[in-house]
Structure 1
Amino acid sequence: MKKFLLGILCGFVFAGLAILILGFALIRAASKSAPETAGESFLVLRLDSEIVERPADENPIPWFDMQSPWTVLEIKQVLERAATDNKIKGLFLEGGRTSMGWAKAEELRMALLAFKKSGKPVHAFLRTPNAKDYFVATAADRVSMVDEDYLDLKGLRVERTYYKNTLDKLGIQVEVEHIGKYKDFGDSYTKTSMTPETRESMGAILDGIFNVMVQGIAEGRKRTPAEIERLMDDGPFLAKAALKEKLVDALSYEEGAMDELAKVANVSSKSRSSARDYRKQIRFRWDKNADQKIAYLVAEGDIIRGSASGGFGNSDSIIASRDFIKNVQALKNDSSYKAVLLRIDSGGGDAIASDELLAALQELSKAKPLVISMSDVAASGGYYMAVTGDPILAYPGTITGSIGVVFGKPNLKGLYDKIGLTKDGLQRGKNADLDSEYKPMSDTARKKLREGIEESYRTFVGKVAAGRKAQVEEIETLAQGRAWIASDPKAKRLTDQLGGIDAALAALYKKGNLTNTSQLRLVPYPPTQNALEKWFSEDKLVSTAFQSAFGGAFKLETPAYVDELRKGLRPALRQGGMLRWMPYTIDVK
């Protein structure tokens, strides 16, 4: 009886929630018109959470919609529009502990510099800023922070986590086969420290990003790079020390910083426009572009086979081959899109899926002009899908390459022995137990596996050579699984140009011989949907609906060690098989 009553109660709650959501959706649909800026004001842009590439679907509940993360494209287009909006007299940037890679930070900094060309003042107010926050903020005319805060500017470091000792204690052995001396993915499970090859590759990446950061800060603060390097050896800085060293311009609270901007912009300090509200104007313009569109096609996250509805968590951080190819095919046949800018932010994943993605993109390239813009990472399978033969652009801080193949499987026999679990079975065929987790691979099975990996590696190098119009031998010198920083002169053959979204668009206009470019609008593809429509579409479950509706609004902070363990067992690895996957996740901080 209790269960029956509980079921009825849950039904009423669900029905009430559905009616509430539907009500909000109907109100929003009825009032959907172009939002307007309310009088002369300065724009307040708060960057204090994750910056992503793919826009979230529009949520019918306004509060939840306001919590959706910013995308690089949204920030860029908000600033572009605000720069020409006569009602916007200045920009107040509020930042601190923003989660993004260095390439995204470079794009944001370029967007701020472009906004400054309008002649409107830009002031930044920082809360416990890290190196990326500060790097972006130095594009502003004035940087301030609270006098009891501190600037976490002390150089950069990169670390790699090794699980071998932990796995030994658990009785787990990970068997790995790979091609390329730099393809050291399995080292996280089989070693306890970096190999010389890993140190070489990661050291070069660290040097490249460090140079990008130092140069940007030096330009912004009108100092020499040598001065900035010297200062970083004395960091981090308490706010008063940062002011003394002229790393910031003032110490004040947020209201005081806003008052200062209002004075310079010649508006009331209470005349503020939220960039979150201003973002609605951008989305409205996306919806209203009929046939003058360039598709901003985002490939973000791990590459997996099949569909993202298979229980791999947040589908926004997954490139599921079936789903992505379906979108590519639809885009190819949509005449309202004149060209395509493919934006990649992926360390790769499944080898077969990445090959399918490349084939689909090559077909798209035959139908429409295509240019590739790399974000923070476009490596291994993420680089593989970029070699369509079209122009590739990357930021100086983009991590790319990692041309190699790896296969790994766990041997859990030791763990099973510890917990008293046994297995017994039969097989027909020498290699039928190749992927068994209860025993190590035999020499025969390992030889057979090597044959497959070597063939996959040759295919990878060959397709890169074909896409880059290079000799196989030339690409081989850049391969061997090594990850590169795009600004490394040795790696320049992997890309065509250093630059961000604007440079990629210029290349796309040239490639497609596109005219009247002022009328073309870069819009996300597939188009953003109202979440309510997606919830009740045929191929979505209610559980997926609530995840997309509320998942972004209730993100709990997780301990660092939990994040480390999660990184160690990513979706592509759980699927198994051969992987075109970057050996490690690099977070330079």
Structure 2
Amino acid sequence: MKGFWKYFLASLLAIVVSGILLIFIFFGFMGALASSVTSSQVAVIKSNSILEIDLSKPISEIPQANILSAITGGAPAAEVGLFEVLSAIEMAKTDEHIKGIFLKAGGNSNGWATSQQLRKALESFKSSGKFIYAYADGITQKAYYVASVADSVFINPVGNVELKGLSTNIMFYKGLLDKLEVQPEIFYCGKFKSATEPLRAYKMTDENRTQISAYQNDLWAEMVGVVVQHTGMDSTTVDSLVNAGAIQTSADAIQYKLADGLKYQDEVEQLLKAKSGIDADKELNFASLSDYKSRLSQKPSSNHIALLIAEGSIIDGKAGANSGSVIASDDFIKEIRRVRDDESIKAVVLRVNSPGGSALASENILRELQLLKAKKKLVTSMGDYAASGGYYIACQSDSVFAMPNTITGSIGVFGVMMNTEKLFNNKLGITFDVEKTAPMADMGDMNRPFTERERQIIQHGVDTIYSTFKSRVAAGRKLDIAYVDSVGQGRVWTGKAALNLHLVDGLGGMDRAIKAAASLAGISEYRVVTFPKPTSDIERLLKMVNGKDANSALLTKQLVQNELGFSFDAYQQFKLLMNNRNQVWMMLPFLPETK
């Protein structure tokens, strides 16, 4: 009997503890929902407020709820889209409640073109006469690129400003495949098409090194330009200081005028209070971008310009668990048709931030864009990347604009398959056998090498798609195919270089593309509407609970992403290729980070 009560009480205790945990989870979930509803309302911005921009938080093209943070109560539950960020900065210029902008400049999670658009918006804000101050314990190089626009850059007395030049580090898997006895079967067009290099080489080819060096030099020239602007030094002096490694400490940053003062955080806060008219013993009124975006509004208009956002790798079919990180052809085509059939939409800006992807999906998307263009003016605005398949879907627009720091081009094609026969035979002791009705009935199976005839067939298919790619570019850009081939070959260019090569029509961000679209459509007053429609926090949370749209998988993805950090991008790219290994691709090489 004593044993019965022992187990009974233990079981009862477990039930009680589980019940309490479930209650906490329930109320946490309901709190996230309530927070989501509240965040959708217009936030109250107090007088003498300061718009706070944290450069370490990534800015996506499409604002998305962070389901994980919404439940756990961590970081803000909603990301703010780039168009909203730029609109918020523009509105703050004339908002009497906003006295200035404060940049938290410890790091910068955004690409070079996004950073450039943000910096130009901040430059425009300065014309209002309001202040911009930047501060961090230590400022990374990419963060300084944006922070240098500030009236004053302050750092911790024992901090530093990083200025060291640019580098691009690529991870190569060929040695690993050798050890596993896995033989990649690679087919490509374009001597600069380096997407497959990590699988077929131990280091960069000369061609890849050449193209990386060229676009790094363009990016570095932009970086040096902002340093010259802030410090008053000439570019030769800046380069000599960087080459000598002369900038290491906070004292160095002050000596060379990269920073304008050494202050602790409390001292910066006192300065901000004085500048914004807040008493020294009162709290600062910071307005976050998440709060401030709720105040954004546009004048009513019967004329709409659609901002059609294509963000992420291009894949076939539906997004599923990849929602928010890919351009899925089926889903995106629905958005194109929705825009095409909406009579209130007079023109379209296709916003492309993509390294490319599936050749077939890119062709299907381009076809729908051609049908859209037959009814409405179509202008493309390029983000951090609009390369390979990303350039493919953009090249036939009426006008194409890129930022100087945009990575574009990469007109080339590749296909990757894997022969794992020796891995299974020699490492695992597994063998395969097959019975077939024709010599190539099992072509593409991973348990045997390709025959020479099969290789010829696949290479011919890749060559044909490359020829189609060139013809699409030639028709859209009104260029000779031979010329397209000369600037193609898989080579990557910056937006600045692409302008000189006639791959784009002008340099500028979304604002210039929107104005160009309005001009082409012959309208002077309009309202910008975004497609796909941003999904609210509450919608995502409810879908996750209902098990719809693979949001449970999305939650798992966010958990993994939080752990892997930047390595998650490389993992995603590798997984995408391996899951679709028998396809032909138009894609950049594993999105190497230039930092």
TM > 0.5: yes
Q: In structure 1, what is the equivalent of residue 502 of structure 2?
A: 493
Larger of the two Rg values belongs to structure: 2
- Choose from 241, 246, 266 the match for 1:255: 266
Q: 1:220 is paired with a residue of what secondary structure?
A: helix
In structure 2, the CA distance between the partners of 1:414 and 1:80, relative to structure 1 (3 Å rule), is same
Q: 1:326 is paired with a residue of what secondary structure?
A: helix
Q: In structure 2, what is the equivalent of residue 525 of structure 1?
A: 531
Q: 1:583 is paired with a residue of what secondary structure?
A: coil
Distance 1:437 1:13 in 2: 47
Conserved? CA contact 1:46–1:94, under 8 Å: yes
Q: More deviation in 32-41 or 111-120? A: 32-41
Conserved? CA contact 1:182–1:481, under 8 Å: yes
Q: In structure 1, what is the equivalent of residue 343 of structure 2?
A: 335
| Unmatched segments (≥5 aa) in structure 1 | none
Query: Does residue 294 of the first structure (1) align with residue 328 of the second (2)?
Result: no
Letter in 2 for 1:264: K
Query: Does residue 114 of the first structure (1) align with residue 124 of the second (2)?
Result: yes
Q: 1:319 is paired with a residue of what secondary structure?
A: strand
Give the TM-score normalised by the residue count of structure 1: 0.90
Q: In structure 2, what is the equivalent of residue 393 of structure 1?
A: 401
In structure 2, the CA distance between the partners of 1:487 and 1:169, relative to structure 1 (3 Å rule), is same
Q: More deviation in 36-45 or 134-143? A: 36-45
Distance 1:43 1:525 in 2: 27
Deviations for 1:414-465, whole angstroms, at most 9, x for unmatched residues?
2112121221222222222321111111001011111211111111000111
Q: In structure 1, what is the equivalent of residue 4 of structure 2?
A: none
Q: What is the count of residue pairs matched by the alignment?
A: 580
- Choose from 272, 280, 304 the match for 2:284: 272
Conserved? CA contact 2:347–2:521, under 8 Å: yes
Deviations for 1:353-384, whole angstroms, at most 9, x for unmatched residues?
01111112222223333211111111100100
Distance 1:11 1:337 in 2: 52
Letter in 1 for 2:306: A
Task: Please state how far the C-alpha of 1:407 moved relative to its aligned partner.
Answer: 0.7
Letter in 1 for 2:456: K
Query: Does residue 76 of the first structure (1) align with residue 81 of the second (2)?
Result: no
Task: Please state how far the C-alpha of 1:62 moved relative to its aligned partner.
Answer: 10
**Matching of residues 18-57 of structure 1 within 5 Å:** 21=29, 25=33, 29=37, 33-57=41-65
Task: Please state how far the C-alpha of 1:29 moved relative to its aligned partner.
Answer: 4.6
Q: 1:146 is paired with a residue of what secondary structure?
A: strand
- Choose from 574, 580, 586 the match for 1:575: 580
Task: Please state how far the C-alpha of 1:24 moved relative to its aligned partner.
Answer: 5.7
Conserved? CA contact 1:41–1:267, under 8 Å: no
Deviations for 1:164-206, whole angstroms, at most 9, x for unmatched residues?
1111111111110111111132221111122221121111111
| Unmatched segments (≥5 aa) in structure 2 | 1-6
Conserved? CA contact 1:58–1:530, under 8 Å: no
Conserved? CA contact 1:350–1:580, under 8 Å: yes
Letter in 2 for 1:43: L
Distance 2:159 2:413 in 1: 46
Distance 2:171 2:480 in 1: 36
Counting aligned pairs with the same residue, the percent is 31
Distance 2:504 2:448 in 1: 43
Deviations for 1:474-528, whole angstroms, at most 9, x for unmatched residues?
2121111111122126853110001112222221221111212xxx343432222
Task: Please state how far the C-alpha of 1:79 moved relative to its aligned partner.
Answer: 1.0
Give the TM-score normalised by the residue count of structure 2: 0.89
Task: Please state how far the C-alpha of 1:258 moved relative to its aligned partner.
Answer: 2.6
Distance 1:546 1:383 in 2: 32
In structure 2, the CA distance between the partners of 1:86 and 1:490, relative to structure 1 (3 Å rule), is closer
Task: Please state how far the C-alpha of 1:26 moved relative to its aligned partner.
Answer: 6.0
Conserved? CA contact 1:57–1:531, under 8 Å: yes
Q: In structure 2, what is the equivalent of residue 507 of structure 1?
A: 516
Q: In structure 1, what is the equivalent of residue 477 of structure 2?
A: 468
Letter in 2 for 1:452: G
Q: More deviation in 6-15 or 177-186? A: 6-15
Distance 1:8 1:445 in 2: 65
Query: Does residue 204 of the first structure (1) align with residue 214 of the second (2)?
Result: yes
Conserved? CA contact 2:84–2:293, under 8 Å: yes
In structure 2, the CA distance between the partners of 1:237 and 1:319, relative to structure 1 (3 Å rule), is same
Distance 1:22 1:325 in 2: 35
Query: Does residue 91 of the first structure (1) align with residue 96 of the second (2)?
Result: no
Conserved? CA contact 2:134–2:147, under 8 Å: yes
In structure 2, the CA distance between the partners of 1:287 and 1:42, relative to structure 1 (3 Å rule), is closer
In structure 2, the CA distance between the partners of 1:287 and 1:502, relative to structure 1 (3 Å rule), is closer
Letter in 2 for 1:585: L
Conserved? CA contact 2:55–2:105, under 8 Å: yes
Q: In structure 1, what is the equivalent of residue 3 of structure 2?
A: none
Conserved? CA contact 1:120–1:265, under 8 Å: no
Conserved? CA contact 2:133–2:153, under 8 Å: yes
- Choose from 175, 185, 197 the match for 2:195: 185
Q: In structure 2, what is the equivalent of residue 371 of structure 1?
A: 379
Q: More deviation in 166-175 or 59-68? A: 59-68
Distance 2:276 2:232 in 1: 23
Conserved? CA contact 1:92–1:124, under 8 Å: yes
Letter in 2 for 1:213: M
Task: Please state how far the C-alpha of 1:580 moved relative to its aligned partner.
Answer: 0.9
In structure 2, the CA distance between the partners of 1:373 and 1:8, relative to structure 1 (3 Å rule), is farther
Distance 1:14 1:463 in 2: 57
Conserved? CA contact 1:68–1:552, under 8 Å: no
**Matching of residues 349-498 of structure 1 within 5 Å:** 349-416=357-424, 417-488=426-497, 491-498=500-507
Task: Please state how far the C-alpha of 1:532 moved relative to its aligned partner.
Answer: 3.0
Deviations for 1:16-50, whole angstroms, at most 9, x for unmatched residues?
75676457646865896433311222222222232
Distance 2:258 2:186 in 1: 47
In structure 2, the CA distance between the partners of 1:285 and 1:261, relative to structure 1 (3 Å rule), is closer
- Choose from 166, 176, 179 the match for 1:166: 176
Conserved? CA contact 2:49–2:99, under 8 Å: yes
Q: 1:143 is paired with a residue of what secondary structure?
A: strand
Task: Please state how far the C-alpha of 1:408 moved relative to its aligned partner.
Answer: 0.9
